[in-house]
Structure 1
Amino acid sequence: MHRHSIGTLTKIALTLFLGLMGWGTNSLQAQKSTSHSPYSQFGLGQMREDLLPQTRAMGGISSGVRHLTGFPTLNISNPASYSGLNRTVLEAGLYGNLTQLSKDDRSDNTADFAFSHLAIGVPLSKYGGMAFGLLPYSDIGYSAASTQSIDNLLYKVSLSGDGGINKAFLGYGVSPFKGLSVGGNVGFLFGNLYDRTKVEFPNTRDAYNSETKETRNIRGVTFDYGVQYSRALGRRYNLTVGYNGSLDNQITAKTNVLQTISEPTIGDDESVALDTTHFSNISNRKINLPLKHSLGFTLSKGYNWMVGADVKYADWSNYQVREGENKLGKSYGFAVGGQIKPDPTSVRYWNQVDYRLGFRYNRTPVSFRHQQINDMAVTVGFGFPLPETNFGATFSQFNISAEFGQQGTLSNSLVRERYININIGFTINDTWFRRRSLD
């Protein structure tokens, strides 16, 4: 007699996963920004990259990542890795952010918490592997205000932005011959970015406040690809070299402007629109996303340890900026990192935990007030194994990573952004879709 078997832990985890999917989908449909960076107002906002907590904890290395602690891993950044899957992998997670913004002698602290990722990888035996899922692509979240005057009339001008772009993807990877793997992802981008300008008159009750809201509705299809070559070095070590990039993808941005007026408010009360003074669809334009390239490697020793490095490059020069917006340039950076498991055969739990560490540096495509905006971070993380079930066929892990970083500078009266990004993920590995014999 035969049947398809799914472990109890996996059933519980799958219920949690589907619950997160429903919650994540609902939150994405009305997405609030998780970015608090003033530099997110440029381009499409703060780019989130296709990284899971496991690789974020190692500085964001991804090009050469194929196995973690001896097992194939779901690496969305390089779809060539899908060909190595030998179990169905479920990934779900959340994201938290703590940010301190400083300018001159002033500072402000913010915090946020949101959906991070939902993804499934499925092995297809000799036909490779496939993956699909949903994750954030970028978001914006900035605010600034200044007080000005005309004669003796004071008024306050506030600029703010929020919203985000999401990415649903489907990918496939295959190994045409031993050691070499190739793969690709097809992604669909969707979401809205909002930019608001408010003019308020705090000292008079005889003037209406006004607000101009610009909405950018983003839609489009993207194509990413990757290659990996892996070989054993002797009987104990393994080297994987990888490359991943993107095509010259083009998406659509539909922009409309809504202008409203409202009565003056007292204190922090939010104004309610009285009337719409103007609404128009101002553009329907194509946007060229950058050509991206990433090259890297990993060197590992079975279950014990892994180290790796990536170099990354992206050219935003052909991105069509809006009128009055700074032109974007070229971006490049590097990442180094690794992980260690003290003793995979030990009965002591802390010897079986994965300890991860990394560093990354990025020269962003943003230049403001003749100052290049750079981003750098030290990363740490842990992979906590959960008890195996289903006679060892099902094993899971709780992953957490933290990025301690800084973007921008205090020079030229700019804003320095110091942040802690927390990513939490739950990984399930199980032998789904495999027939098992029962005595």
Structure 2
Amino acid sequence: MIKQIFIVAILFICSYSFAQEGSVSPYSFYGTGDQRFKGLVENRSMGGISVYTDSIHLNLNNPASLGKLKLTTFTVGGGYHSLKLKTEEESQDASDVTFDYLAVGVPLGNNMGMSFGLVPYTSVGYRVQSLNEDISPAQLDKYSGSGGINKAFFAYGINFLNNFSLGAKANFNFGTVKNESIRYVEGIQYGTRVQNESEYSGFDFNFSLNYDAELTNKLHLQSSVLYTPATKITSSNSRSISTLVANSTGIEVPRVTENVDLAAVGLNSTYLHMAESYAVGLGVGKKYTWFVGGEYEITNSSEFKNDFVNPVNGGYEDGERFSAGAFWTPDYDSFTNYWKRVTYRVGVKNEKTGLLVNNVPVHDFGMSFGLGLPMNGFSNANIGVEFGKRGSTYLGRVEENYFNVFISLSLNDKWFRKNLIR
């Protein structure tokens, strides 16, 4: 297993910088970008619920699950994302490939476990423009952005009183976001470009409490409470202003560039205010065979604030999400029929994202399906698909119809075994 981990980790680390251009959504214009990590493939295939836990899979959104971990687990995942972008006037297709997570979980005895890893949390990748001919002189605005925020995390979970598990996760946020705006005014030779760059760093934390119980000989209850407190991370900022002229090939060439003294106005170092959130989950099932559960989350998105950059036509309200999901494994220990050992997953989500564009809420509705394909021992490969719609074309906004494909490996083994000499 160690050799497999090394090979897979090297492949993903080598492609990591490429994968950070992991958004083609115009909604990544707002905040710190498009949220990339929304759970492991196993969770996303069930609508994104985090309430289900077992002893061989990691659950990065629910650190209390580590109290159940029995095998050393390595997981890595990535995805393909396809978008059909529509406005009232036109439509366009876009796609990208991303690295989604890399994590290791290690059991620490019979009732404790820890995990650590890396996830790209948000990603910025947009290029949009707007021509306003209703004013005189006419005005052309271009906006583009790149970068994102990553999280390196360490989590710990403990099982106590037989039925309860408690967990905590510390995340170190780091990354750079670059935004650029260009304006051309009819009749004026030069355009104006403003470039902003922010380097983010700081910690945030997640906590969870699980309660499991046997309802009958065949029915098993699982419940969870997840909490993320509000926090602030540091943003080190820079800004430059340039005059532009387009050469004969259409390339925009800066003529004069001036770096803005942000320290003079108190904007060289600011804070990014991250929102508080709560989630509760509940589900029932039969061990190793089936599970049905739901999860409800409230995010105080109205608390989000970026002291350095305020997006055009953007705002925030409190968000909420409801997810439901299920899985079914026909016969997990079948020796004669491989497909009976496959885990089949399905899910649905309905989310008010908390983002306001032109004072209109942005909603996200999606459905998901997935397969857990057994490999040697307790290891498995996971494939998931997700499709849905975010936003609408109302009041000049953008509607995204998305189709996502996720693939992951979950490699399991028992480490630190004592050798017996007879």
Does TM-score exceed 0.5, indicating one fold? yes
Q: Is the 8 A contact 1:128 1:172 kept in 2?
A: yes
- Number of the residue aligned with 2:156: 172
Tell whether the 8 Å contact from 1:50 to 1:76 is kept in structure 2 after alignment: no
Cα contact 2:152–2:172 (8 A) shared by 1: yes
One-letter amino acid of the counterpart of residue 271, structure 1: E
Is 2:38–2:48's contact at 8 Å kept on the other side of the alignment?
no
Post-superposition shift, 1:200?
5.1
CA deviations on 1:388-418 (whole Å, 9 max, x unpaired) are 3xxxxxx311111111011111222221111
**Structure-2 residue corresponding to 1:7:** none
Equivalent residue for 1:308? 293
**TM (normalized to structure 1)?**
0.87
Letter in 2 for 1:23: C
User: Structure 1 residues 412, 157: CA separation in 2 closer, same or farther (over 3 Å shift)?
Assistant: closer
- Are 1:434 and 2:417 matched, yes or no? yes
AA aligned to 2:252 is S
Who is 2:213 aligned against? Answer: 231
Of 135, 138, 146 in structure 2, the residue corresponding to residue 162 of structure 1 is 146
| Aligned pair partner of 2:200 in 218, 221, 230 | 218
Deviation at 1:94, TM superposition (A): 1.2
Q: Aligned partners of 2:247, 2:65: CA distance in 1, in Å?
A: 56
Residue in 2 aligned with 1:4? none
The range that moved more, 210-219 or 159-168, is 210-219
Render the CA deviation track for 1:318-351: whole Å, top value 9, x for unaligned. Answer: 2224446533110001000111112223322122
Greater Cα offset, 165-174 or 415-424: 415-424
* Match of residue 118 from structure 1: 102
Name the structure 1 match of 2:357: 368
Q: Is it true that 1:142 corresponds to 2:142 in the alignment?
A: no
- 1:152–1:233 CA distance, 2 compared to 1 (3 A): closer
Deviation at 1:56, TM superposition (A): 0.3
- 1:132/1:140 CA distance change after superposition, 3 Å: same
Does residue 351 of structure 1 match 2:340?
yes
Flag the structure with more relative contact order, 1 or 2, with Cα contacts below 8 A and sequence separation at least 6.
Answer: 1
Change (3 A) 1:152 1:361: closer
Distance 1:171 1:161, change over 3 A: same
Alpha carbons 2:29, 2:311 under 8 Å: kept: no
CA distance in 2, matches of 1:151, 1:413: 17
Native 8 Å contact 2:315 2:357 kept in 1? no
Instruction: Give the match's secondary structure for 1:435.
Output: coil
Match of 2:370 among 353, 378, 381: 381
Alignment of 1:196-207 (within 5 A): 196-199=180-183, 207=189
The AA in structure 2 aligned to 1:254 is: S
Counterpart of 1:132 in structure 2 is 116
1:185 aligns with 2:174: no
Residues 24, 108 of structure 1: alpha-carbon distance in 2 compared, 3 angstrom cutoff:
same
RMSD: 2.4
**Taking structure 2 as the reference length, what is the TM-score of the superposition?**
0.91
2:323 counterpart (335, 339, 346): 335
Q: Following the alignment from structure 2 to structure 1, what is the Cα–Cα distance between the partners of residues 12 and 75? A: 11
- 1:278 matched to 2:259? The reply is yes
With 121-130 and 374-383 compared, the bigger mean Cα shift is at 121-130
Matched residue type, 1:384: L
The change in CA–CA distance for 1:244 and 1:355 in structure 2 (over 3 A counts) is same
1:65 is the counterpart of 2:46: no
**Equivalent residues in 2 for 1:294-305 (5 A)?**
294-305=279-290
Report the CA distance between 1:95 and its aligned residue. Answer: 2.0
Q: What is the Cα deviation at residue 149 of structure 1?
A: 7.0
User: Measured at CA, do residues 306 and 150 of structure 1 come closer, stay the same or move farther in structure 2, by a change above 3 Å?
Assistant: closer
Deviates most, 98-107 or 342-351: 342-351
Q: Which consecutive residues of structure 2, in runs of 5 or more, have no partner in the other structure?
A: none
Counterpart contact for 2:38–2:44, Cα < 8 Å: no
The one-letter code of the counterpart of 2:31 is: G
**Aligned counterparts of 2:213 and 2:133: Cα–Cα separation in 1:** 69
* Alignment CA distance shift 1:236-1:127 (3 Å): closer
In the aligned structure 2, how far is the partner of 1:324 from the partner of 1:420?
A: 27
Shift of 1:223: 1.0
1:320 maps to 305
SS at match of 2:258: strand
- Equivalent residue, structure 1, for 2:10: 19
1:429 match: secondary structure = strand
Gaps of at least 5 residues in structure 1 are 1-9, 389-394
Instruction: Check the 8 A contact 2:56/2:412 in 1, yes or no.
Output: no
Does 1:290 find its partner at 2:275? Answer: yes
Contact 2:36 2:100 in 1 (8 A): no
Once the 2 structures are TM-superposed, how far is the Cα of residue 236 of structure 1 from its aligned partner? 2.1
Q: Structure 1 pair 415/76, CA: closer, same or farther in 2 (3 Å)?
A: same
Q: 1:343 & 1:176 partners in 2: Cα distance?
A: 31
CA distance in 2, matches of 1:248, 1:362: 20
Task: Indicate conservation of the 8 Å contact 1:200/1:264, yes or no.
Answer: no
Q: How many residues align?
A: 414
Using the alignment, how far apart are the partners of 1:160 and 1:43 within structure 2? Answer: 14
Change (3 A) 1:287 1:81: same
Q: Which moved more, 1:415-424 or 1:153-162?
A: 153-162
Q: Deviations over 1:12-44 (max 9, x none)?
A: 42122331353255447xx32x22222222222
Counterpart residue number, 2:379: 396
Confirm whether residue 418 of structure 1 aligns to residue 401 of structure 2: yes
How much has 1:145 moved relative to structure 2? 1.3
Provide the C-alpha distance between the structure 2 equivalents of 1:179 and 1:311, rounded to a whole number of angstroms.
22
CA distance in 1, matches of 2:183, 2:89: 26
Of stretches 35-44 and 401-410 in structure 1, the one that deviates more from structure 2 is 35-44
